[in-house]
Amino acid sequence: MQQYIARRGDTVSRIAARHGITPGHVIQGNPWAGEQPYLYPGQILYLPSAPRRRYSVQDGENAETISALFGVSIEELERFNPGVASGRAITAGKVLVIPQPASAQVVTVRSEYGPAEVERDTGLLVEKYPFISREVIGTSVLGKPLHLLKIGSGPRVLHVNGALHANEWLTSPCLMSFIEQYGAAYAEGKSWHGRRPEEWYRNWTLLAVPMANPDGVELVQEGILPGQAGYEELMSWNSGRRSFRHWKANIRGVDLGDQFPAHWEEEQERRGIQGPAPRDYGGPAPLSEPEAAALAELAERFPGEAAVSLHSQGGEIYWNYRGYEPAESKGLAADLAAASGYRAVELTGSDAGYKDWFIQRFRKPGFTVELGTGKNPLPLGDFEDMALETGLILADILSHRYFLD
Ligand SMILES: [Zn+2]
C-alpha cells in the first residue's frame, strides 16, 4: 500500500494506468474516489502495489520461447530476471517475473484521452513517421493548440475532425489511431484491411484535427475547481452539477456542433436556447468561437473533396443537407455503411453543423459519423472497435472510385 497525493489532472483511471493497476483497485482502497465526480488535487489515496505476473517455467523452455509466449523482448525478460539469458537453459519450475509487453503502438487508450495525450501522441507520430506532419491551426478559448495532422501528398483533400463535442472525446484517439495504422502500413508498403495505403497517399492529402474542442474535453474529464477561472459561470451553466460528463459545448458554453453558417438562425430558433449551456447553444453568432472558426478557415484554405466529422454515438452516418449534397452522396453513404456495419441515415430538421456547412459551402460530400453505441462518454473498452470502424469508413472514402474517376 502506498500513499499518493492527487494532482491537477489526475483521474482514477489515469492514476490506475500509471501504477499498473485497475480503476477498480483504486476505488477498492478509496471508496469515496468512486463516488466523487472528480478527484481534487491534494486528496490522499492509498494504492495497492501492482501485482506482478509470474510464470513457472515448463520443461524444455528457454528465454526465447517464453519471450515469444508473452510477447516481451528477451532483453526485458533478462532485466526482470537476473540469470536468465538468451541461449542458456532455464530449469523447469523456476518462477519468472513477466514484464508488461511494451506497446508497439503510439496511440493507446488506457485512461481518459485528453489534450495532453493529443499533444504527446501527435508529437510521437510525427517523430516515428516523418512523412506525417503536424501543424497548429488555431487556439482554443483557453489557449490550447488545435493540432492538425497531415498525411499524404495527393491533389484531393479529405478533412476529418473529432471531439467537436466535449464528451465525445473517444473520437480523438479513434482518428489518431487510424492515422497511425495508415502511417505504419505506408511505411512498410503493406496493405490495410485489403486496401492500399500507398494509393491513398498518392491520391489524397488527409487533414485531420483530432481534438477540435480541447477545453471542453478537459472540463468533461477533470471538472472545475473553485478558484479556477470561470468556475462560478460554468457551475451555473451546469445548473450547479459538479459532474460535467454530459457536457458537449466549449468552455464558453457554446455548442460547436451548432456554430457553422448553414441556416444558423433557424437552428438557434429550433433549439430555443438563449445563453451558454452544456449543449445546443449556438453562440452569439456563427463562428464566434475560435475552435469552429479554425475548422472553417482550414476548409477554406484547403478546399476538400470530402469531409467527415466524428461524433458519438449511434452507429450512424448522416450524409445529406437540405439537398445541397451531390447526388452521389447517398450511394457513398451506403458504401461507407456497408464497410463499417453502420446505418446510413437521411436527416432533416438539423442545421449549423460542420458537415452541413461543408456540404452547403463546397457542394461536396460531407458526413457526420456517430461512432459506437451506448451513453457518452463511451467506455474505454469500446475504443478498439470504434477505432477500427473509423478506419474502415475513412479507408473506404480514400479508396472510393467516385473520387478517383
Ligand atoms: Zn456530437
Q: Position 345: which residue type? A: V
Report CA(48)–ligand 1 centroid distance (Å). 38
Distance 213 CA to ligand 1 centre (A): 11
Task: Kindly give the distance from the C-alpha atom of residue 157 to the centroid of ligand 1, in angstroms, as a whole number.
Answer: 23
- Asked if 40 contacts 225 with a C-beta cutoff of 8 angstroms, the reply is yes
Q: If you measure from the C-alpha of residue 165 to the centroid of ligand 1, how many angstroms do you get, rounded to a whole number?
A: 5
Grade residue 220 by pLDDT with cuts at 50, 70 and 90: very high
Q: How far is it, in rounded angstroms, from Cα 303 to Cα 171?
A: 23
Quick one: average pLDDT of 354-375?
A: 97
Per-residue confidence (pLDDT) for residue 300, from 0 to 100:
98
pLDDT digits (tens, 9 = 90+) for 296-334: 999 999 999 999 999 999 999 999 999 999 999 999 999
Mean pLDDT for 92-97 is: 95
Tens digit of each residue's pLDDT (9 = 90 or more) over 142-157: 999 999 999 999 999 9
**What domains does the chain contain, in order, with CATH numbers?**
2-47 (3.10.350.10), 53-98 (3.10.350.10), 115-216+287-404 (3.40.630.10)
Res. 103 pLDDT band, cuts 50 70 90: confident
Burial of 92: CB neighbours in 10 Å, binned 0-12, 13-18, 19+: exposed
Least confident of 13-22, 131-140, 349-358: 13-22
- Look over the chain and give the mean of its residue pLDDT values, rounded to a whole number: 96
Residue 363: what pLDDT?
98
Cα 312 to averaged position of ligand 1 atoms, centre (Å) = 6
Q: What does the pLDDT read at residue 100?
A: 83
Q: Which chain residues have CB less than 5 Å from ligand 1, an ion? A: 165, 168, 311
49 C-alpha to center of ligand 1: Å? Answer: 39
Using pLDDT thresholds of 50, 70 and 90, give the confidence band for residue 116: very high
Task: Give the percent of the chain with pLDDT over 90.
Answer: 93
**All three cell numbers of 28:** 477498492
- What does the alpha-carbon distance between residue 249 and residue 239 come to, in Å, rounded to a whole number? 14
- For 179, half-sphere exposure in the C-beta direction (CA atoms, 13 angstrom radius) is 38
Among residues 276, 220, 225, 223, which one has the least CA distance to residue 245?
A: 220
129-137: average pLDDT: 98
Question: Of residues 222, 370, 384, 389, which has the active-site annotation?
Answer: 370
Question: How far is ligand 1, taken at its centre, from the CA of residue 97, in Å?
Answer: 45
Between the CA of 299 and the centroid of ligand 1 the distance, in Å, is: 19
pLDDT on residue 86? 85
Per-residue model confidence (pLDDT) at position 102? 77
Whether the pLDDT of residue 234 is over 90: the answer is yes
| b/e sequence 353-388, b meaning 16+ C-beta within 10 Å | bbbbbbbbbbebbbbbbbbbeeebbbebebbeebbb
pLDDT reading at 235 higher than 90: yes
The predicted pLDDT at position 89 comes to 86
Cα 164 to ligand 1 centroid, rounded to whole Å: 7
Asked about 370 being catalytic, the answer comes back as yes
